[in-house]
Amino acid sequence: MDANGYRRPRNLRARSMLAGEASAAAAEVESSFAVPPDPTAAAFFDVDNTIMQGASLFHLARGLYKRKFFTTREIAGAAWKQAYFRFAGVEDPEHVESARASALAFIAGHAVSELELVGNEIFDETMASRIWPGTRAIAQRHLDEGQRVWLVTAAPVEIARIIARRLGLTGALGTVAESVDGVYTGRLVGDMLHGPAKADAVLALAREEGLDLERCSAYSDSFNDLPMLSLVGHPCAVNPDSHLRYHARKHGWAIVDYRTGRKAAKAGLMGAAVAGAVTGAALGAARARRR
């Protein structure tokens, strides 16, 4: 059953567990944390709107578009979904699934090493400036206390590793895209690392690393991450959507929000406007080519 008491169909549960176990197996751990001062405690951070403003996979998709990985029509669709995400302040499951699945499909036929190289460039171009300083400070506090810190995201694990490495974190759990001989096939190992699959990944990693989940912390902005947040002894809602804020208050969870009311509204409107401009530009370019 999930965190709300609903039983997931067996095939979906199996794919969720496969995605979680594959991500835990692919987790990258820095050698400096081989023997941590606090071996049984760790912190798990969602990425989108928790560590980073907006959707990391949209930033990746925009960078890949600039490098001719896919078409204007495809980036227009991604821009619309990003606008919805930023303006509404919550993740619509259908938008999330289609946007992320499409972004993973774009890398089919490309080498794993190519995505890792391009990913580092894209982080410098568009992601670094969008890191929430407050959440980054929380992550650093866990590191200073000798705890390991992992990112847990639906983005490809290769991109998650880059973000974790550039922020000085321990490692990352992310969606595992299948590759054969170092080339992406366009298929996934299990499902997207989203919702219940994140909890499965954290459970698998906790078993592997000998973590006491009651001593661990988890951070997210989305009600979709309730399964992961409910696993640990110290859950925290960061820039939460309305559903997660209600749940956190009801259960006495910590809440931190780096958006004042006015700034949050402004950020949402600006995000929608920027994404809308990208959409308009992309569609305009497509019409021009048709003429």
DSSP states along 87-154: HHSS--HHHHHHHHHHHHHTTTTSBHHHHHHHHHHHIIIIIGGGB-HHHHHHHHHHHHTT-EEEEEEE
Among the listed residues 46, 191, 200, 221, the single catalytic one is: 46
Catalytic pick from 48, 200, 225, 241? 48
Q: Element (H or E) spanning 281, and its range? A: helix 261-290
What is the DSSP code string of 157-177?
HHHHHHHHHHTT-SEEEEE-E
Query: Does the annotation count 48 as an active-site position?
Result: yes
**Rama region for 29: left / alpha / beta (φ>0; ψ in -120 to 50; rest):** beta
Tell me the CB-side half-sphere exposure of residue 145, using CA atoms within 13 A.
Answer: 16
Reply yes or no on whether 124 is catalytic: no
Given a contact cutoff of 8 angstroms between Cβ atoms, the answer to whether 173 and 157 are in contact is: yes
Active site residues: 46, 48
